[in-house]
Structure 1
Amino acid sequence: MKLLLKAVRIYDPSSVFHLQQQNILIENGMITSIGGDQQQADQTIELEGLCVSPGWVDLYAQVGEPGLEHKEDIESLAAAAAAGGFTDVLCMPNVQPIVQTKGAIHFLKAKAASLSVNLLPVGAVTVDTQGKELTEMIDLQRAGAAAFSDGAKPVQGAEVIVKALQYLQPFDGILMNRPEHTRLAEYGQMHEGIVSTQLGMKGIPALAEEVMVTRDLQLLEYTGGRLHFSLISTAAAVNAIRQAKAKGLQVTCDVASYQLAFTDATIAPFDTNFKVSPPFRSEADREAILQGLADGTIDAVVSGHQPQDTESKKLEFDLAEFGIINLETAFAVANSTTRNTLALEILIEKLTAMPRQILRLPACSIAEGEAACLTLFNPDLKWKPTIESIRSKSKNSPFMGQELTGKVIGIVNKGQLVLNHSF
């Protein structure tokens, strides 16, 4: 099959065509021609404002299968990812059973083999994600684990962090940890501050994140290795990571795009679709995150996708589960909230080149002779997500019906073209 992308603007610093408007011809999953006159093709995509970049990579998403298929299964996750522009998604190990065996790695890879999106399994760091005994990470890496994390469960023990960092060094593995002191955050429902006091809610202090970031950085300096912080949310965490990078430590981090959209003062009170962990923080924290994105302290923007079924969300706020679905809105939310502070080129880099570097994935370039791994998007198109249009099984999103700027048109990956239904 021949596919022609006509007059698309290319966003790829590794390509000689970066920021140019060109025709791209794809044959049987390979880029065969860039530039030149219009060519014959079986299918042509020509849309005003159409842009293309290497396929986007999400470093943090939860998939329900196996065990929690009613919230999300592998097929629905892949469909949501494709609709959101992601060709590669890192899947956290928090399923039932936990992803801690070679069989579990093989299960995910086999079920995703024919899908348009590459689903990258994360192996658990500790047995049953209980934070005590290490898993057989070498075996998991050989089986295909792309990274190691306990996902939604922050690793608490300093001795576990040290051992894991040491264990991963021989094969340059990366430890990913969500920094939160669980005892300090215990029973918390939202960010600890004036708003939580006014609403009479138990708060999650910024300190719960900051103390763990500082500790883990000290442990990294002691042991060496590679450490990645998932879903950071506070100004002090951004500053600590900035200083650690200046020291030369191999540390990276990401932020969920939805952290840029709200603060504790702008959420709808008691609406469980705004209940997320880490919580929406203060305006000062949000501004620090924007600065961290601009100066390179924050390496990647992620979806932080956490599907929850209606029974888990339609409850009193303190009883409802944490989490937001965001695969389909991740880019639009980030693009909408950073248009005046962050160049589009930088945002795309944090969805493409930087996540690939962190995971040591092969580089993806828009060049003749390369496999077509592409995301098609229009950064200026306005749209509103609706319950009917969302492909995720769960609908727990605060963005339903909100106008967002920046629309994914589709992806080309693994020889497959997936277009959003509205196009």
Structure 2
Amino acid sequence: MKVLIRSIRIIDKSASLNGQSADILIEDGIIRQVGSAIEATGAEVINGEGLSVSAGWVDMRVASRDPGFEHKEDLTSVRVAAARGGFTEIVLMPNSEPVVHSKDTLNYIRNSGQGGLVKLHVAGSVTRKAQGVDFTEMIDLHTAGAIAFTDGEHPVQNADLLLKTIQYLRPLDALLMNRPEDRQLTLYGQMHEGVTSTLIGMKGMPALAEEMMLIRDLKLLEYALEKNEHTSENPALHISLISTRRAVELIRDAKAKGLPVSCDVAAHQLAFSDEDLIGFDTNLKINPPFRPADDSAAIREGLADGTIDAIVSDHCPHDEESKNLEFDHADFGITGLETAFSLAVMHSGLPVEDVVDKLTTQARKILRLPVTGIAEGNPANLTLFETDKDWTFERSYSKSKNTPFLGKTLRGKVRGVANNGKFEWFE
């Protein structure tokens, strides 16, 4: 592969040419030259005028459904959708069948993506079958390459299990990821508990369920560190998918106290409010649910001041039979890989440079991945995109189509990705 990208704007806070236009020569998967008026015989030439380039994006939360539910998404289709969304690396949740609680399943997933355009990272489950009862062999999974530990779609409800997991993983400098939800408080819930849920007669999921569990998790983290001599600059606990004002405040206070905690938000969380569920569109049924506008405003504040470290897609594919039915019987989830960047650009309130930072540098730091930049000699792990381009989301490359954004006009379009010695350009 030999590609010359001409006159493209570099978005990389670590690069000397950040914010400037330059030519980039990629050869054999390596950035050979960055400069002006580069000549390269035999190279494929891409006109980068009007485009931007950054380090390849990382999605910290993706459900692949493979093995076990390949009719919803498989390891091939999830990589295609990820590339179309600008992601060169994705973290797969362990909620397959079987659950990723053994080295066999972990290796099956990791090996399927070796050498591909999109690299697959795999999170191992904290408990066997993600049922919250018995621990997995986390040291074995860590040694085999698990990038983090989480029960994924199933928040860890048992406080003792969560505490022991933090204590267990800290000497390994391994990351625990948990989504805060007290499932006793959200039992049978369908949407955010509030005025709208009352008006349309839906059982609500109170913000309290997220906030109480978050308070618990942060207290357990603080307690575990008091009993643990092992220290690290890396976050020990990552909070996934925060959605309320109080949750933002709690994490902001925890960081001010010096606790090693990080968090993310789903890009789609800011695109709707609970009032949009009045039409009973099951594509808007997600967990955590869409909250009122006041919570969205607090999330934007948290993104701007650095309280919220990363933006994720929370790609959660479901087949037609799981979504095209009565609202209270439909499954939770939205497919998000192909729209995450656009939604972040449109609804986060952040400059594009900061959106990219939360998809690249910040995500990599949390996951203990090398922080790559656009510099000569570095691997060509890149995403090319238009920041102000309006486009219509007419086709999804995911096997599942449970998204409210099909047919909608979005802003910010991915044009190509490079990784592992491969380059793909999207018209």
Category of TM-score, reference length = shorter chain: over 0.9
Shift of 1:36: 2.4
Which residue number in structure 1 is paired with residue 369 of structure 2? 361
Residue of structure 2 in register with 1:135 after alignment: 136
Any conservation in 1 of the 2:200–2:278 contact (CA below 8 Å)? no
Match for residue 340 of structure 2? 330
| Residue 282 (structure 1) aligned with residue 292 (structure 2) | yes
The reply to whether residue 407 of structure 1 matches residue 408 of structure 2 is: no
1:345, distance to aligned residue in structure 2 (A): 1.2
Partner of 2:328, secondary structure, is coil
* Higher mean displacement: 221-230 or 210-219: 221-230
Paired with 2:38 and 2:30, the residues of 1 have a C-alpha distance of: 18
What SS does the corresponding residue of 1:266 show, helix, strand or coil? helix
**Residue equivalent to 1:233:** 243
Counterpart-to-counterpart distance in 2, 1:413 and 1:329: 20
- Contact between 1:156 and 1:181, CA under 8 Å: does it hold in 2? yes
Q: Distance in 1 between matches of 2:353 and 2:48?
A: 20
- Which residue of 2 is the match for residue 6 of structure 1? 6
Does the 8 A contact of 2:25 with 2:38 survive in 1? no
Aligned to 2:213: 212
Question: Is the 2:264–2:311 contact (alpha carbons within 8 Å) kept by the matching residues of 1?
Answer: yes
Is 1:384 the equivalent of 2:392? yes
Secondary structure of the equivalent of 1:44?
A: strand
Equivalent residue, structure 1, for 2:34: 34
CA distance in 1, matches of 2:115, 2:162: 36
Q: Aligned letter for 1:180?
A: E
Q: CA deviation at 1:343?
A: 1.5
TM-score, scaled relative to structure 2: 0.96
- TM normalised by structure 1 equals 0.97
Who is 1:72 aligned against? 73
Q: Report if aligned partners of 1:268, 1:274 keep a CA contact under 8 Å in 2.
A: no
Residue in 2 that maps onto 1:370: 378
Cα deviations by residue, 1:127-175 (Å, 9 ceiling, x for unpaired): 1111121111110010010000000000001101100000001110010
Paired residue total: 417
Shift of 1:42: 2.3
The answer as to 2:315 corresponding to 1:305 is: yes
Which portions of structure 1, spanning 4 or more consecutive aligned residues, are displaced by more than 4 angstroms?
A: none
Partner Cα distance (1:189, 1:417) in 2 = 42
Cα pair 1:7 1:23 within 8 Å, conserved: yes
Opposite residue 248 of structure 1, the aligned amino acid is: G
Q: Describe the SS at the equivalent of 1:265.
A: helix
Superposed displacement of residue 368, structure 1: 0.3
Alignment partners' CA distance in 2, 1:311 and 1:288: 35
Bigger mean CA offset, 32-41 vs 175-184: 32-41
Partner of 2:232 in structure 1?
A: none
Matched AA of 2:319: D
Residue identity matched to 1:399 = F
Deviations 1:266-316 (A, max 9, x none): 345211000001100010100000000000000000000000000000110
Classify the secondary structure of the residue corresponding to 1:168: helix
Q: Which residue of 2 aligns with 1:201?
A: 202
Asked if 1:271 is matched to 2:272, the reply is no
Give the deviation of 1:114 after TM superposition.
3.3
Structure 1 counterpart of 2:260, from 250, 255, 261: 250
| Aligned CA distance change for structure 1 residues 178 and 397 (closer, same or farther; 3 Å) | same
In the TM superposition, residue 38 of structure 1 has moved relative to its aligned partner by 3.8
Contact 2:317–2:402 under 8 Å retained in 1: yes
Q: In structure 2, how many angstroms separate the alpha carbons of the residues matched to 1:47 and 1:120?
A: 30
AA of the residue aligned to 1:149:
T
Q: The residue matched to 1:318 in structure 2 has which SS?
A: helix
CA contact under 8 A between 1:29 and 1:414: conserved in structure 2?
A: yes
Aligned residue type for 2:246: A
What whole-Å deviation, never above 9, does each CA across 1:246-277 have from its counterpart, x for those lacking one? 00000000000000100001345211000001
Report sequence identity in percent: 52
**Alpha-carbon distance, 1:115 to partner:** 1.9
Q: 1:47 to 1:113 in 2, by over 3 A?
A: same
Structure 2: where are the runs of 5+ without partners? Answer: 226-234
Distance 1:347 1:306 in 2: 21
Report deviation, 1:11: 0.7
Q: Quick one: which amino acid aligns to residue 289 of structure 1?
A: I
Task: Indicate the SS of the match to 1:182.
Answer: coil
Alpha-carbon shift at residue 336 of structure 1 (Å) = 1.2
One-letter amino acid of the structure 1 residue matched with residue 268 of structure 2:
Y
Aligned partner of 2:393: which letter?
P
Partner Cα separation in structure 1 for residue 267 and residue 398 of structure 2: 18
Aligned to 2:112: 111
Measured after TM superposition, the shift of residue 47 of structure 1 is 4.1
Aligned equivalent of 1:396:
402
The answer on whether the counterparts of 1:62 and 1:91 sit within 8 Å (CA) in structure 2 is yes
Matches within 5 A, 1:158-177: 158-177=159-178
1:179 is displaced (CA, Å) by: 0.6
Structure 2 residue identity aligned to 1:236: R
Please say if residues 49 and 380 of structure 1, whose CA atoms lie closer than 8 Å, have aligned partners that are also in contact: no
TM-superposition CA deviations, 1:340-387 (whole Å, max 9, x none):
x3121111100000000001001111000111000000010001112x
Asked if 1 retains the 8 angstrom alpha-carbon contact of 2:315 and 2:333, the reply is: yes
- Secondary structure of the residue aligned to 1:31 is strand
Residues in 1 aligned to 2:322 and 2:79: alpha-carbon distance in whole angstroms = 22
Runs of at least 5 residues in structure 1 that lack an aligned partner in the other structure: none
Q: CA deviation at 1:65?
A: 0.6
